[in-house]
Amino acid sequence: MRRTLIIAAVVAFLVGAIAGLLLGIYTSEGGGQFLPLVDAPVQGFDERYVGEDFWFTEGLGMIVEGGKRGFIDKTGQVVIAPQFEKAWAFSEGLAAVSVDKKFGFIDRTGKVVIAPTFQLACGFTEGLAAVEMNGLWGFIDKKGKWLVEPKYKSVSGEFREGLGAVEVDGKWGYINREGTMVIPAEYDRAVSFYDGLAAVRRGEHWGYIDRNGTVRIEFKFSGAAEYNGHMDCALVAMPGGRKDMWGRDLPVFVDKRGRVKLVPGPDVVVAEVFSAGLAQARKVGTVKYGYIDETGAWAIQPRFEGLWNFTGELAAVMTAGKWGYINKSGKFVIAPNFDYAQSFVEGVAHVVVDGRRAYIDPSGDVIWQEAAPSTQPSKPATTSENE
């Protein structure tokens, strides 16, 4: 749930966050603060199209009609009529929705199961959801009972592996489900655990700790993202190597001991962790994007203006200002006719056609489309080249 549009150089950070490269920290001031991992691609996104969870989870996808949010199934049948001001994707059987500018939760039938009383709410993970009350964050269970009372200015958006990151007096640590601080609040930033490791920052440098709080990878990176189980590695910005035009360190991949596992080719600026065996990247000296394989070589040549990760066999890419879908050979299998497109999730993808949101299947057939655009889409964000 990343909802802030930032222009110029900062766009690179935000788009990476939307794509899943950078991790969100939710704060009482609103919006996300993201790990400073550099050179995410600018993907031709529109503020109107990416501000909410328009994708399928648990068999349901969010729709909008007349400015109200509801949900459909994969046949395009309306399951929950559009009636909410805001809504997030379903997670663990519940979805956060807002009524009269307050958030609560509904079940898969649309029944309100937790009354809308919160300023903001995140989705459930491991049976808990982060919610904001009177400017402070805590965690509730699926009955709406406080498991961790609202006393934190900032928290991570989710529990992972039994722990949640919280801010105490400007420092970050980790609590368990009972709210007990099990890893002391001594870091300048901390994010959720993945595969037994969490990225944390001390001063200007990032490292990784395990669930006991033991440092597993020393504090030596200028940027860090979540550990990626697919390749058994993490994407980090390593000092002492190549730099971009602003003098920032460019990313490489390291293993769980912090040893460099993969350095992309000399003409490659990697911009994402691996998904389905390929990673987004930009060619040095250009603003064209493609995909590298697990050796760091180009698998699909950089010829696109924007792109998303592969999910399964397809990826959304932009060319000549329009979005379509390619296979792993780089061939278009769904023609680039969309104003905007996202990755396939659960076999369905969110696209925009003539300013109207829609969902398509892997054949490109429309299963649902918005009756009429609520506003004219704004011009896609752009930025200067990041070298």
Rg (CA), the chain: 20
Identify whether the C-beta of residue 274 lies closer than 8 Å to the C-beta of residue 226: no
Q: What is the pLDDT of residue 240?
A: 80
Sheet holding 136-140, edge to edge: 120-121, 129-133, 136-140, 146-152
Angle, vertex CA 1, rays to CA 155 and CA 281, nearest 5: 105
Span 160-183, mean pLDDT? 96
Structure confidence at residue 115 (pLDDT): 98
- Cβ neighbours of residue 203 closer than 8 Å, sequence gap 6 or more: 188, 219
Of 173 and 377, the structure prediction assigns the larger pLDDT to 173
DSSP run (H or E) holding 232: none
Please say if the pLDDT value at position 1 is more than 50.
Answer: no
Calculate what percentage of the chain has a pLDDT beyond 90: 62
pLDDT in tens, 184-242: 999 999 989 999 999 999 999 999 999 999 999 999 998 888 877 667 788 888 888 77
pLDDT at position 3 over 50: no
pTM recorded for the entire structure: 0.83
% of the chain residues with pLDDT over 70: 81
pLDDT band at 28 (very low <50, low <70, confident <90, very high): very low
Torsion region of 96: left, alpha or beta (phi above 0 gives left; psi -120 to 50 gives alpha) = beta
Instruction: List pLDDT tens digits, range 269-282.
Output: 887 778 899 999 98
Q: What are the boundaries of each domain within the chain? A: 8-369
For 361, the enclosing helix (H) or strand (E) is none
Q: What is the pLDDT of residues 289-348, one digit of tens each?
A: 999 998 999 999 999 999 999 998 999 999 999 999 999 999 999 999 999 999 999 999
Residue 46 pLDDT = 55
Q: Could you tell me which residues are beta bridge partners of residue 189? A: 201
Q: How many CB atoms lie within 10 A of CB 4?
A: 14
- Confidence at residue 234, expressed as pLDDT on a 0 to 100 scale: 84
DSSP characters over 57-113 = ETTEEEEEETTEEEEE-TTS-EEEEEEESEE---BTTBEEEEETTEEEEE-TTS-EE
8-369: CATH topology: Methanol Dehydrogenase; Chain A (2.140.10)
Whether the CB-CB separation of 129 and 119 falls below 8 Å is answered with no
pLDDT of residue 48: 57
Q: What pLDDT band is residue 362 in, cutting at 50, 70 and 90?
A: very high
